[in-house]
Amino acid sequence: MWDLRNLGQSYVPALDEDSIRQLSTKAARALQRAGHRPGVELPVVMKATEKCCELQWVEYSPPTKKSIDDDTNVTEYAGMAMALAIVHTLYPESEWDFMRRTVRGEFADIVLVDRDGEEFFVEASAAQDQDPSRLAKKRAQLRKCAASFKAACVTEFGPPRAAYEEV
């Protein structure tokens, strides 16, 4: 089970609270907007294999006092949240933690780091609809990145599906 409720504590403790809240909330909104409820199964394709995980999150309901940022970058940040969850699930022992977000236009969206200082560049992409070419595009983008450890993660919310590939 992937639990977006504990995204920060469980997956990326180094990420600050406000950023965690944004990523979790926006992931919930993106999933619900596509008609899903907590407990939905998310198939993740990794090369030839497919792994299915149950997704849990705190249901989003519009707060009485919304943050000004609640409606912005929903799909993009949801994609990042999903990528963090997927990386953590694939590498439970490696303890990849959040290092930094990158400025738009970079090869990768986020950089993770492990205890030994090894860096992991992750390009996260998300969309409501299916686009079979998206992973290939992201892969091509990452190939230009000089880092040695890098991966592309593409999430589609309706129907839910994710594809992950190291480059």
Partner 1 sequence: MPEALRELYPKVTQAIMRAENAEARGDAVAKQAYAEVSRIEEEISTLLAATSAQGALARRGAVRAALFAGDAERAKQLAARFAAEPGGVDTLRQELWEILENAELPAARPASDGAMPANISALVETAACIFPIVVGADDRLRAAEPELAARADPAVVTTEYLDMRRAFGDFAVAVAARAGQGLAGERLVTQALALLQATPDGVDRCVALTLDRALYSTCRALEIDARVNGASAEDRATLEAYYARLPALFPRLAEFRAQREFDRVEASSAGAALRTPLLQMLSRVARTDAVIGQNLSVDLDTDILAFARAPQEPPSEEPPEQIRVRTQEHSILVQTAKSAVFKLASIAARNSPLRPGLLQELAALPGL
CB of 63 to partner 1, least distance (A): 16
Closest by Cα among 23, 64, 17, 60 to 38: 60
Of residues 38 through 67, those in contact with partner 1 by CB under 8 A are none
Residue 143 in contact with partner 1, rule: CB under 8 A: no
Closest by Cα among 62, 86, 73 to 160: 86
Torsion of CA 6, 17, 78, 26, to 10 degrees: 100
CB of 16 to partner 1, least distance (A): 5
Of residues 85 through 114, those in contact with partner 1 by CB under 8 A are 98-106, 111, 113
CB of 77 to partner 1, least distance (A): 8
CB of 110 to partner 1, least distance (A): 9
Whole-angstrom CA distances from 148 to 16, 93, 105 are: 26, 19, 19
Residue 141 in contact with partner 1, rule: CB under 8 A: no
Whole-angstrom CA distances from 163 to 39, 40, 114, 127 are: 19, 16, 23, 12
Binding site for partner 1 (CB under 8 A): 14-16, 18-19, 22, 68-69, 72-73, 98-106, 111, 113, 117, 119, 121, 145-147
